[in-house]
Amino acid sequence: MAVSSGEGKTAGQEDPVRRESARQRAGEQGLLFDEQPTTLPGDIGYRGPTACAAAGITYRQLDYWARTGLVEPTIRAAHGSGSQRLYSFRDILVLKVVKRLLDTGVSLQQIRTAVQHLRDRGVADLAQITLMSDGVSVYECTSADEVIDLLQGGQGVFGIALGRVWREVEGSLAELPGERAAVEDTVPADHPADELARRRRARRTG
């Protein structure tokens, strides 16, 4: 399983020196992030170029991940020519995590499983998670002790504190345009023409 709990990975290994060294490494890497980030409105959506800028990815990556189902926009999917995807804050957070996992050499198969695992978590839970990896498997840690245990046991080569990524995305989006999603944007349009009409109205009123 690509994502598993970090708890109990190094049971019985309580070398004080190694544990303190692991704690220092975790602190230096910013993996003990325990501040509760601000919750943003769930009805604010961000278009593709904005999502790319906030997540640090190319539009080609964004489009490919959406078409292959890796990270799809949850506010509004594209329906035919002329329609615009709208990504939620949570979507962009996951996009940035995917980019970091790819950059560190984690396989796309492992990332897909990790993304599905993150989708199953509540938004508030995401901020408390640190993902650790040894380059092969991805482990989920929900406490500082679990992070330290993995570093001490050798499984944690690198880690991503989602609370810290949350703050980074939040800071980026504060300077980028967003738009309030209409109720109908959360469900697929029955006809492409309906979607195009809504886009024209949005342009006139926006």
Which domains does the chain show, CATH number per domain?
41-180 (1.10.1660.10)
- Residue 69 CA to residue 46 CA, distance in Å, equals 18
Contacts of 97 (CB under 8 A, 6+ apart): 114, 115, 118, 131, 160, 162, 165
* pLDDT score for 1: 34
Look up residue 167 and give its amino acid. Answer: R
Torsion on CA atoms 182, 185, 187, 193, rounded to nearest 10 = 120
Model pLDDT, residue 121 = 78
Phi, psi values for residue 17, rounded to 5°: -70, -45
Contact 83, 192 (CB under 8 A): yes
Running DSSP on this structure, what letter comes out for residue 51?
H
| Angstrom distance (rounded) from CA 154 to CA 138 | 13
The whole-number pLDDT of residue 163 equals: 84
Residue 105's alpha-carbon distances to 57, 62, 134, 136, in angstroms, are 16, 18, 10, 9
What are the average pLDDT values for consecutive 10-residue runs of the chain, which has 206 residues? Answer: 46 58 58 60 86 96 94 84 82 94 88 87 77 81 79 70 88 88 51 44 45
Mutual orientation of helices 108-119 and 89-103 as an angle, nearest 10°? 150
Q: What is the pLDDT of residue 189?
A: 40
